[in-house]
Amino acid sequence: MSNVILVAYASRTGSTIGVAEAIGKTLVESGAQVEVRPMKEVMDLTPYRAVVAGSAIQGKRWLPEAIQFIQSHQAVLAQKPFAAFLVCMTLTIANQKYREEVTNWLEPVRQLVEPVSEGFFAGALDISKVPSFGDRLKFRLSVALGVWEEGDHRDWDAIRSWAGSIYPMLLQ
């Protein structure tokens, strides 16, 4: 087994890619060897010492390919240090009730593999990058109603802090 840590991600508009890259960079700065890759490109987890996996949220869920990744690699993930994160716009809402609900969205992952740590991060909203016309319309309406604001809401300090905190756990 190598000492390489995999940071795998599923993204729709690119926000989660940036979070995964920041996590990877922080782990490298902590002394780790890291590969940051889209989940769709990862076929075998045996070469990795540990796995950090994250997904954008769509409809209060990890993206389908992210859940498929966990299901496909469940047996191997259960034998390695594994951390999970999600990226969603709901975390930009000040109401604590909504923020607490977001933690439930990792439950399908927890049912398959128990993470050593979980990260919850706000995303970025660029409506022009939203692939579905219907979803673009919903986001425009939500922005008009003041639910969300367009822009980058990722808290880079929180992301780096979480990544630094999980490094020792990923070495166990």
For the entire predicted model, the pTM comes to: 0.90
pLDDT reading at 143 higher than 80: no
Residue range 50-108, pLDDT digits in tens = 999 999 998 899 999 999 999 999 999 999 999 999 999 888 887 777 777 899 999 99
CATH number at residue 25: 3.40.50.360
Residues 6+ apart with CB under 8 A from 53: 7, 8, 9, 39, 66, 69, 70, 82, 83, 84, 85, 109
Beta bridge partners of 124: 152
Residue range 144-166, pLDDT digits in tens = 877 778 888 899 999 999 999 99
Domain that holds residue 97: 4-170
What is the number of domains present in the chain? 1
Residue range 108-142, pLDDT digits in tens = 999 999 999 999 999 988 888 877 888 788 878 87
- Residue 1: what pLDDT? 52
What b/e readout covers 55-82, taking b as 16+ CB neighbours within 10 angstroms? bbbeeebbbeebbebbeebeeebeebbb
**Which residue in the block uniquely carries the two structure tokens 């469940």?**
74
Cα distances (Å, whole numbers) of residue 131 to 45, 55, 126, 134: 30, 16, 11, 9
